[in-house]
Amino acid sequence: MQFDGEKIMIGGIAAAEIAERYGTPTYVYDEQKIRANYRRAYQAFAKHYPDFQFFYAVKCCNNPAIVNILRQEGAGADCASVNEILLAKSVGLSGEQVMFSGNFLSDADIQQGLESGVIFNLDDISILPRLLKFGTPEMISFRVNPGYGKSNVGEYVTNAGPGAKFGIHPDDVLKAYKMAKDAGIKRFGAHMMTGSCITDADYFPFITGLLMDIIGKVGRELQIDFEFIDLGGGLGIPYKPGEEALDLERAAEGTAKMFKEKCAEYGLKPPQLKMEPARYFVGNAGYLVGKVHAIKESYKKIIGTDIGMNVLCRPAMYGSYHHIYVDGKENHPRTALGLCGQLCENTDFWVKDRELPADMGEGDIVVVENAGAYGFGMSYQYNGRLRAAEVLVNNGESVLIRDRETFEDMVRHTHVPEYLAK
C-alpha cells in the first residue's frame, strides 16, 4: 500500500477506484507483493540449505488465483481437507506436491486422501490402523507435537505444546513410525506445527532442535531414512505499527545450521527441508476495502461500516489487531473512536478507542491492513450479510477473482418441503 498525497493506493490503483468499480467490502491482493514475499523467503532458506521447498498452507487464503501465483513461484500445497486437495489438483498440483495434514479424519477423508495420491501427514497414531484398512500409502509422515509452542496472535492459535490439539506426543512418536515400518511402508517424512505468526528469529532454530532430537532418535533406532522434515509454518508478520519484523535471514541461517547439526548428530541422511508458511506470503499483501455507512453518537462515537466480524472475524474471534486507514484523511486530527460492522452481535463492535481521523463521515473509504491471511477464508454468512468480493491487483491493473455473494447464493442449496410452501 502506498499514498499518493492523502489518497490510498493498492498495487498502483486507488482504493476509492476499487470501491467504486467492485463495491464494498472487497478483499484486495497485490500480486507483486505476494511474489516478492515468496522469493525473499525462499532465497533466505535455500541459500543456507539448498534442498529446500515451500508448501503453501491453502487454508490461509484459498482463492485459486492466489494458489496459482504461489504454484508458479514453485510452492506445493499443504491441505487441511479433501476439498483443499481438490483445489490444489485443480490448479495443477498433485502427488508429492501436495501434503494432506488433516486432523480427526473421517473414514471418507482417509479413503479420498489415499485415492488422491498425495503425501499423508497423520496427526495422530490412532489414524494409522484405520488408514491401513483402506490401503498402504507409499510414503507416510507423522505430525509431531514437540511439547512447546508459541504464538504472537493469541493463545487460541498456539498450535503446539500441551494445550494444543495437534500432533503426536513425543512419547508415542517411535511407536508410530515402528507401526508404519512394520506395515510395509518404505518412505518416511516428519512434520510439526512450528507456531503461529512468530517474529522471534531465534525461535525457529530452537523448535527445530526439539523436533530433530525426537526424529533423530527414531531414525537411529529404527534404521529408517527420512526423505523430508517439514518444520510447518509460523513465519510471522508485524500487525501493529512499530512492531519489529521477523529477521528472516537470521531465522533461516540459524534453522539451517541447527538442522544440519542434528542430522550429523543422529547420523541421518540429510533429508529435504520443507516449510509451509502462508501468512508470510499473503498476509501483508492483502487489504480489506470497506465504507462508512452510519455514525452513532451515543455513550461514545461509533463508526458503522460494512466491515463486520462476518467479513473479518479475527478481531472478534481472538482479539487480533488490524491497522485501519481512512482514505483522504490520514493527516487529519485524530480522536479515540470505535468501529463496528452491521451484525446483531456486540462482538461485531471490533475496534474500540482506536485513534482515527476525528472527521470520519458517511461515505468514507476505510482500508484494513494485513488482511490477506485468514480473512476471506474465515468469513461467513450471518444476518443475511454475505461474503465479500475478491480482487487481484498487478502493477496498476485489477481483475475480479471472486464474485460478491448474492441472495441466490445464500439460498442456493436450501429446500422447502412442499407442505410448508402452501
160: confidence class by pLDDT, cuts 50, 70, 90: low
| Alpha carbons 234 and 254: distance in angstroms, whole number | 15
| Alpha carbons 270 and 263: distance in angstroms, whole number | 6
pLDDT of 166? 74
pLDDT of 195? 81
pLDDT of 149? 60
| Alpha carbons 131 and 109: distance in angstroms, whole number | 10
163: pLDDT strictly greater than 90: no
The residue-averaged pLDDT of 142-150 equals: 77
CB 338 within 8 A of CB 353: yes
pLDDT of 258? 97
pLDDT tens digits along 276-310: 999 999 999 999 999 999 999 988 899 999 999 99
194: confidence class by pLDDT, cuts 50, 70, 90: confident
| Alpha carbons 401 and 411: distance in angstroms, whole number | 22
220: pLDDT strictly greater than 90: yes
158: pLDDT strictly greater than 70: no
pLDDT of 162? 59
The residue-averaged pLDDT of 152-172 equals: 68
226-230/334-340 β-pairing: unpaired
pLDDT tens digits along 34-67: 999 999 999 999 999 999 999 999 999 999 999 9
| All three cell numbers of 266 | 543422529
CB 54 within 8 A of CB 74: yes
pLDDT of 239? 95
145: confidence class by pLDDT, cuts 50, 70, 90: confident
Q: Which residues pair with 392 in a beta bridge?
A: 29, 399
Q: Residues near 67 by Cβ (< 8 Å), separated by ≥ 6? A: 56, 58, 77, 87, 88, 91
The residue annotated as part of the active site, out of 60, 61, 313, 344, is 344
| Alpha carbons 286 and 281: distance in angstroms, whole number | 10
SS3 content of the chain, % helix, strand, coil (to 5): 35, 25, 40
148: pLDDT strictly greater than 60: no
196: pLDDT strictly greater than 90: no
b/e map of 327-355 (b: 16 or more CB within 10 Å)? bbbbeeebeebbbbbbbeeeebbbbeebe
pLDDT of 153? 63
| All three cell numbers of 20 | 467504486
pLDDT of 225? 93
Q: How much of the chain exceeds pLDDT 70, in percent?
A: 95
| All three cell numbers of 12 | 498502483
286-297/301-305 β-pairing: antiparallel
Please tell me the number of Cα atoms within 13 Å of 279 on its side-chain side. 21
| Alpha carbons 114 and 44: distance in angstroms, whole number | 34
Sign of the dihedral through C-alpha 273, 279, 280, 286: positive
The question of whether 344 is a catalytic residue gets the answer: yes
